[in-house]
A = this chain, B = another copy of it.
Amino acid sequence: MFSSTVENYLKAILVHGEGSGGEVMPMGALAEALDVSPGTVTTMVKALAGQGLLAHRPREGVKLTKAGRAAAAAVLRKHRLVETFLVTTLKMDWAGVHEEAEALEHAVSDRVLERIDELLGHPTVDPHGDPIPSAKGEMAGPGGASSSRLTLASCELKTQWSVARIRDQTPAFLNFIRDTGLKPGARVRVTRRDPAGGVVCCEVKGAGEAVIGLGEAGNIEVRK
């Protein structure tokens, strides 16, 4: 239906919206996310706006239309179901599946995807804790009940929390998370937080102490 390039544009805008309440995404941010030049984004955005997939506010940014959001959700669903599949069924390394899924999401047909969904038992979150859009394109969106916005940078000290989501798919960060045991599901207690020095110390059940930067802590969502 759409080229991989188009799918990537749409997905990038949707994911950006996931983390920032659906506001317009500046052209520069899109260029950054897709690793192309700003001029390329302007050209492409105008074409996609012409197709009714997004609304272009010149010198401001872009926003998905209804049609664009639906298409983007379908891609994101593929991405996250594939990630889950790679970890659960193929037992691949948790930290590496993002890149693999990046390629597969454009090649997996709806029929294959439904078989994968079935095999996995209709999961609602992927291995990083990111919500998987439904087949109808519904997402546990930014305002949704599942999105706590509570992170290791903001949660109460000395209480037991459960890691819910890792909001940063860079391999280096994911490796770090794996090594400290802070994967989704892990039980954790923040023992000390030093805003001045920018560090957060915590105790991970079954995996000992961990010290992480304050900014990084803000990318680890917790719950309960």
Contact = CB atoms under 8 A, between A and B. Distances in A.
A114 B92 CA distance: 10
Contact of A90 (B90, B96, B100, B112): B112
Interface of A: 86, 89-92, 96, 100, 103-104, 106-109, 111-112, 115-116, 119
B86 A112 contact: yes
Q: How many copies of the polypeptide does the oligomer hold?
A: 2
Contact of A115 (B90, B109, B115): B90
Shortest 5 CB-CB distances between A and B: which pairs?
A107-B107, A90-B115, A103-B107, A104-B107, A100-B112
Given A86-B112, A103-B109, A104-B104, 19 more contacts: A86-B115, A89-B89, A89-B119, A90-B112, A90-B115, A90-B116, A90-B119, A92-B111, A92-B112, A92-B115, A96-B111, A100-B109, A100-B111, A103-B107, A104-B107, A104-B108, A104-B112, A106-B107, A107-B107
